[in-house]
Structures are given as structure tokens and as C-alpha cells.
Structure 1
């Protein structure tokens, strides 16, 4: 009995010691090695709210090249979420067109730069080489810039401007999936088409098509099947030319002219819904490996109906959220050019139901 009571006493002491050590939080760090407290370091700088416009509130604008088709809705939602977190004001701006309209976006951007309350600018840059004057104007005004979604690698002061977006090479994920779809379905040969329009001037989309094309060719070659397929991405590997103003009929025309299409890839929010409609109109639902880009309502419905086999999402909520935070960090902390690659999310009929939660499509 004495040994049993002794064991209980030791157990109680160990339990008490463990509880005490939990409250003590052994290993916790209260102050920085430099001597300052983390509580002080986590506070906003005194002059942040008075930056540039000196009106007591940070005002940022985000300008996109197409606000008319729904793709940028979660981008705007992400920007507003971030602005609310830091107590900033966000102006949601963009071309009203349902197709890419860089010229209109540039016009809007030049207008908003004249707003005396503006403290920071976020813009998409799909038309390579068209934004240097905007960067110069913003620098002259003392307004920091962050770019999002589409990437212009040659923009003035590129290495000093943060970018949030998906690297175009992520489109290879769709190319690989398309080849796997063909092999899983036992397809022995046929045509694979990649419709696009270089007239839209979107270098990012061109690079996506090129990346998907490269992955398709490499995948078929690795499977020893390349000679059995015709992979058509146009003479420059950036897409078979198709009319962006009538994309459905353009793709239907491609299908009919080839006569043996077994696979297709579309690289943006213009041609992907059109690809799905073309598949449905030609009675090819379930008979073709059709992959596209973005995860708007049209793409989600097409995946559910089987008119698209898969689509790549580029996490657009992050493309609105992070640039706002980046501008804030640049103003408050002096942190600049911290890029974020939002990568790609392959969505199929099997997991499309999980997409769209909390307005992230």
C-alpha cells in the first residue's frame, strides 16, 4: 500500500510539474535580439495612414483588363478583403469589356493616377511594353505600383515592382493531363488543337498555350505516340488563330476542318467557355479530352456537364489579396518586389463541387 501511495504522489507531482511548465511556456521569445519588443514592432508606423495623400486613409486602386466576364470578380473580392484588414480604401476598376481590352484598362489607369487621394496602384499588364509611361508617371507622383495576374517581364523597373500571378509555365499541367486523358481512354491517334488569338495582344496567354503545347508534345513522345497525333498550335506554337469575337464558331470550324479532333486546349476565359460550347454543339461531349483555363461559372458548368474534361484555376483571390498587402508592406515596412506565384489548380468533374467556396473561383 505504501508503494502504491508513493507512486500516486510521484504521479501527481509530475502532472503538476507538467502543468506548471505549460503555463511557463518554456522557450518563448518576448523580445527581439536587437532589444525591441515584438509588440512595438508589430504596430503600424505612425506616418503610414498619412502616406502620399496625407488624408488619414490609404487609398489603393486595382485596374484589370476585363471586368466584364466575371474572372476578376474573386480578384476584386480578395483586394477588398485585404483592404478591410488593414483599414484601407480600395477602388475596383477595369475595362467593362467581356474580352481582353488592355487599351481601355490603360486609359482607366491614366485617369486614376490623377486622383489626388490615390496612395497606391495595382494593375494587370497583359500587353507587353505598354506600361512604361504609367510606371514613370506613378514614380514622379510618388505612388508605388504592384502588378497582378498578367506579367510583363520587360516593364520599367521590373525588379523593383512586386508581381502576383501564375507563371505561364503552369499551363503544362493541363498539357500533361490532356495526354493522360488520351492514354487512359485508349485513343490511338488524331488531331489536338490549341485555339488562340495573338491579335488580343496578351503575351501571358500566348505563353500558356506554348507551355501546354510543349507538354503535350513531350508527353506523347514519352509515350511513344507522337507520330500518331497531329498537335496544332499554329506556326509559332502559340495557338491556331481563332476569332475572339466569334470564338465558338471559330472552334467549331477547327473541329470540322480537321475531322479527327481528339483533344483541345484553350488558354483563357475567352476561348475556354467557347471550347465547351463547341464540344456540346458538335456532339463531342465525352468523346474528346478538352482542357481550358480559369474556373468561372461557365467553366464550372461545363465541367459538371462533361463538355470540359479539366480546367486550370490560378487562385485569383490571391491575385487581389496579395498586391494590396504588398503595397501596404512597401509603405509601412519598406518591403518591395516580394513576388507571389499563385500556381495552378487542376479541376475536373470529380472535384469541381469544391470550387467556388467563399467566392474563390
Structure 2
């Protein structure tokens, strides 16, 4: 009886397998237009000789602060994409650990005149600073893609692809900060959002505003807003703090308020500064400290507990996709295919999952 049952099940399995095979017989071998997918999937014969006509594509990636480590996974992503399509990718940027737009533009002005360059990928943290670069690139026949920071007013914006995270993602950290206070039973105090509006980085300004609004909304919805003082400066874009010595600036800010229970930093400059200020003042674990960008300093601060949570922007994608976008623009005529890299909130509990395969 046992053997008969086994044989019966085997026959049913064979019958089901035959049915599945028949269901997969409707292959699509050619497009409705008549061409084959195999031929259409091939690279155009002129692609490798685009612009420089040297038999291979060369793309330049230029950032405003290559010296702080945040852009490392971005450069890795760009390299991976270049390897896939067989393009050379030049990894360039300001050597400074903090934002240095002047140096970035200096590099871009050299690159845009280089006859071997077939495409430019650049960060655009300062609104209005890159129009001449875009104009010169267009005149020289070089396509441009922007990544990381977004300038909505840049010349030919609707024709230029952008890869990055919408600033509204900072609301995730703002909500988490407010919930952290409630979960810890903190009933009152000051929540500060230090920044440097003087840098003219509208992306960071918008992040601070989004985090501020989320903190206020979450506390208000819980009926607790009246007990807290939430301060993001007069325009809700950040309490202006010295960018040349951000740690000292944050320490002074914390000491001046005397009742700090929460803080948020909108970039890779002020997030580590909040962590260091908390450690110096013995506030580690006593305040809800959140920030933006998962650079090495932020990861260390999460592990030590000096930061409670940090928003990551998936920088690997911010390097990978712009290279692929420029390739598609050259080979397929596809342009302005934007990518929102979304956000991930990383905490001390989950920081061990970050950094795998070199992506912060």
C-alpha cells in the first residue's frame, strides 16, 4: 500500500510538471514591430565613440567633499556601474572633509574642457552655482547628471537626470526623535536643530525643516507639544551654528539651553558634532540624538550610543545610477530618468547590518 501511494504521488507530480512546462510554451521571440529582442539589446555601434571618439566612454564623478568618507560608497557604486558597461569612471572631488563648493567648481571647470570626457556626474549642494558648468558642458556636447544634493533651479533641469533622496525623508528621523522622548518617559525640555544656513545648502535647509515639522506634529498628536521647546531657528531651517567649529558650536548651544533632551543634525557636518558634543557633556544615552548621512563618524557614534539614530540615503545608488543614466542617455536616448534613493533609519540595534559590501 505504501509503495502504491508513493507511485500515485509520483504520477501526480509528473503530471503537474508537464502542465507547468506547457504553460511556459508561449515564448515571445520578436517585438510587435518586427525586430528581435536580441538585436535590439545590443549596444549601438557608435556608443563607445561618443564625443571623445577614443573607443571607450569616460565619465567623471565630482563631489563637494570627498574627504569625509560619506561619498566613498557613492564612488564604489559608480565604479561598479562603470565595470558593467565597460566605461572608465574618474573619481574626483574636493579633498576637504566639509563642503567646499569652490573647489568642486574648480575641478568641474577643468573637466568640462577635457576632450576625453564623455559625461559628467556632479553634486549640486549650492543653488545657482552650477549653471555655467551645465552651459559649458552643453556647448561641448557633454551630457550631465546630478546626484546626492538637488538644485531644482539648475539650468536645463527638466533635461538633466537626478539621483538622490528627497529632503522630506528627514521627517522619518524627526518622528523617531519625538517617539524616542516618549518611550524614555521624557516629559519636557528643549529640542534643538543646529545647522549652518550660511552655507546656502537648500537641501540641508529643507531636511531640517522636514525634521522640525515631524517633531512638532508627532508631539502635538500625542498631546505633549506644550511641554517642549522645539527650536530650528527663525525660519525653521536650523539654529545658525559655526560650521568651522561645529562641535564647539553645538556644545555652546547645549550649555546655553540647559535643558536639552533632543537634537537633530541635517548633514554630515552637524550630525557628528551633535554626537561629540553629547559625549563631551556626558549626555550620551540621556538625550535623543538623531542626524543625517551614514559616514564613518556617524556609524561609530551609533555604535557608542552617542547618536540614537541616523538617516541613510543609500549613497551606493547615488553613484551607480547616474553612470547608468548617462550610458542610457548616450546609447538609448533616455534622459531625465530620476531616481529617489529613499531612506533608512539606522539605530544602535541595526548599525551592525550597515557597511556590508562597502555600502554605508
Sort the TM-score into its range (normalised by shorter chain).
over 0.9
2:243 aligned partner? 244
Say if 1:312 and 1:21 are closer, same or farther in 2 by CA, change over 3 A. closer
Instruction: Output one character per residue of 1:55-93: Cα deviation in whole Å (capped at 9) or x when no partner.
Output: 000000010000011110111010011000000001111
**Which secondary structure does the structure 2 equivalent of 1:257 belong to?**
helix
Q: In the alignment, which residue of structure 1 is the partner of 2:114? A: 115
Q: How many residues align?
A: 358
Alpha carbons of structure 1 residues 317 and 14: separation in structure 2 relative to 1, 3 Å:
closer
Runs of 4+ in 1 over 3 A off after TM superposition: 7-14
Unaligned residue ranges in structure 1 (runs of 5+): none
DSSP 3-state at the match of 1:171: helix
Q: Which moved more, 1:322-331 or 1:7-16?
A: 7-16
Q: Partners in 2 of 1:9 and 1:253 — Cα distance?
A: 80
- Counterparts of 1:164 and 1:10 in 2: how far apart (Å)? 53
**How far did 1:17 drift?**
7.5
Alpha-carbon distance in 2 for matches of 1:21, 1:309: 51
Deviation per CA, 1:300-358, whole angstroms, max 9, x where unpaired? Answer: 11111111000000000000000000000000000000000011110001100000001
Match of 1:62 in 2: 61
More off after superposition, 260-269 vs 194-203: 194-203
Aligned-partner SS, 1:90? strand
Q: Which residue of 2 aligns with 1:322?
A: 321
What does residue 290 of structure 1 align with? 289
Equivalent residue, structure 2, for 1:156: 155
Give the equivalent residue in structure 1 for 2:35: 36
Superposition pairs for residues 1-361 of structure 1, below 5 Å?
A: 12=11, 15=14, 18-19=17-18, 22=21, 25-361=24-360
Q: In the TM superposition, what whole-angstrom CA distance separates every residue of 1:137-178 from its partner, at most 9, and x where no partner exists? A: 111111100000000000111011000000000000000000
Alpha-carbon RMSD across the aligned residues, in angstroms, is 1.9
Aligned mates of 1:148, 1:350 — CA distance in 2: 29
Q: TM-score, normalised by structure 1?
A: 0.95
SS in 1 for 2:68: coil
Residues 211, 9 of structure 1: alpha-carbon distance in 2 compared, 3 angstrom cutoff: closer
CA distance in 1, matches of 2:221, 2:11: 65
Q: 1:111 to 1:27 in 2, by over 3 A?
A: same
Residue 18 of structure 1: how far off its partner (Å): 2.8
Q: What TM-score results when the alignment is normalised by the length of structure 2?
A: 0.96
The farther-off stretch of 22-31 and 83-92 is: 22-31
